Amino acid sequence: MPHLILHHTANLTGFDPDAALAVANRALVDSGQFEAIAIKSRALVLDRYRVGDADAGQAFVHATLKILPGRSETLRAALGRLVHDALAPCLPSLDLHCQLCVEVVELQAATYTKSTHAPRVVPETRS
C-alpha cells in the first residue's frame, strides 16, 4: 500500500509520466508514511477525454492515491497536497490550460486483499 494512479490527457505531449511517478513515489517515501517497496504506481494516458465544452486547449492530470484506513483526515489532506506539489513541476509548459487534480481515497480493509510472491529460486544442479 499505497496505490498511486495517474490519468493524463494525450495532448500533454511534454509530460513525462515516468518522471512524474518517480517524483511522486519519492515524495511519498519522504513523508515517512510508506516504505518504498509498498508503493505501486502507474500512469495511464487518456486518448478519449473531454474537459468542459471539449475545447482542444484543455488538458488534465488526475492522481488518485489509494491508502488503507487509519490515517486522520488532516494527514490524508497533507498527503494529497504532497502528491500535488510533487507533480506540479512535472507539468509541461504548453499552450494548454491544464488542471492538476489529486484525490486521496481510503480503501476498505475488509475488501482489500494483497499477497506478495517472491521469485522462485531454482537450485543449482551439479554436472
Taken in order 31, 91, 74, 37, the sign of the CA dihedral is negative
Q: Strands across the sheet with 40-46, in order? A: 40-46, 3-9, 58-67, 97-106
Cis peptide before 92 (omega within 30 of 0): no
Q: Quote the pLDDT of residue 85.
A: 98
Third-level CATH fold of 3-111? Macrophage Migration Inhibitory Factor (3.30.429)
CA dihedral 71, 45, 20, 112 (to 10 degrees): 20
At 28-51, the pLDDT tens digits run 999 999 999 999 999 999 999 999
Residue type, 120: R
Distance linking the first and last C-alpha atoms of the chain: 44
Identify the three-state secondary structure at position 96: coil
Grid coordinates of 125: 544442479
When pLDDT is cut at 50, 70 and 90, the band that residue 127 belongs to is low
What local confidence, expressed as pLDDT, does residue 86 receive?
98
**Contact between 34 and 41 (Cβ < 8 Å):** no
Confidence of residue 72 (pLDDT cuts 50, 70, 90): very high
Domain boundaries, the chain: 3-111
